[in-house]
Amino acid sequence: GIQVEQSPPDLILQEGANSTLRCNFSDSVNNLQWFHQNPWGQLINLFYIPSGTKQNGRLSATTVATERYSLLYISSSQTTDSGVYFCAVEANTGGFKAIFGAGTRLFVKA
Amino acid sequence: EPEVTQTPSHQVTQMGQEVILRCVPISNHLYFYWYRQILGQKVEFLVSFYNNEISEKSEIFDDQFSVERPDGSNFTLKIRSTKLEDSAMYFCASSGTGQDEQYFGPGTRLTVT
């Protein structure tokens, strides 16, 4: 089945810093989503981005489907950005299921 | 804004007992899913459900698991005889179509003792 790899696995930032999280996938996909898992365990939808670029406030994401990767940019990080960021893809080989990467654990220091 | 809801938020049960986890998907969505996340690990797909039947299931979704849409609003996951290793956060999700964005509920944390 499709493989989803995220990097880096862990990231520590000073408040105000910028960062880029990466998601690589091994096969063509129908869709790709980025989630933030907050300290209470909730999965918050950030972006639905099978291709192209989207921005929402300090966050933006780019997916280059032909090269099988997506990037999540966090600018001017805040302590509330801490948590785990997951990329999830739905393979274009039939079936409706999201395959998650292992996540990037982000800690933003005040 | 419409959202997926799940009850209970936390369930503690003894090994061997049956549990039912409940979800109310977004009202105009047609596809429903269950996922689980063992503490500290990634989110894993269990099952997808469309038109009152299972569309796809993972190898985790064995005979102890079942899903049902008992009425027009609820979607349930039943675990027949719980094991210690079933302890996890269980997420319900829904989407308008099979390739649309999936919206996740807040999860039910299941603890099997």
What per-residue confidence (pLDDT) applies to B43? 97
What per-residue confidence (pLDDT) applies to B46? 97
Backbone φ, ψ for residue A81 (5° rounding): -80, -10
What per-residue confidence (pLDDT) applies to B99? 79
* Rounded distance between C-alpha atoms, residue A108 and residue A39, angstroms: 13
Q: What is the mean pLDDT of residues B47-67?
A: 94
Q: What is the mean pLDDT of residues B22-30?
A: 94
* N- to C-terminal Cα separation, chain B: 37
Mean pLDDT of chain A: 94
Mutation target to probe the B interface, by most B beta carbons within 10 A, among A2, A97, A99, A104 is A97
- Chain A nearest CA to B83, separation (Å): 22
Res A92 pLDDT > 90: no
Split at pLDDT 50, 70, 90, the class of A94 is low
Nearest to B43 among A31, A96, A100 (CB): A100
The DSSP line for A29-84 is EEEEEEEEE-TT--EEEEEE-SSEEEEETTEEEEEEGGGTEEEEEE-S--GGG-EE
State how beta strands A59-64 and A69-74 pair: antiparallel
* Rounded distance between C-alpha atoms, residue B74 and residue B102, angstroms: 17
What per-residue confidence (pLDDT) applies to A96? 78
Res B7 pLDDT > 90: yes
Q: Taking Cα atoms as reference points, which of A109, A99, A101 lies closest to residue A85?
A: A101
Nearest to A97 among B45, B89, B103 (CB): B45
Split at pLDDT 50, 70, 90, the class of A67 is very high
The answer to whether A5 faces chain B, any CB pair under 8 Å, is no
The dihedral region occupied by B50, where left means phi > 0, alpha psi between -120 and 50, and beta the remainder, is beta
What per-residue confidence (pLDDT) applies to A95? 65
Mutation target to probe the A interface, by most A beta carbons within 10 A, among B23, B38, B45 is B45
Q: What is the mean pLDDT of residues A50-62?
A: 97
* Rounded distance between C-alpha atoms, residue A90 and residue B47, angstroms: 14
Residue A75 CB coordination number (10 Å): 14
In tens, the pLDDT along B81-103 reads 999 999 999 999 999 987 789 99
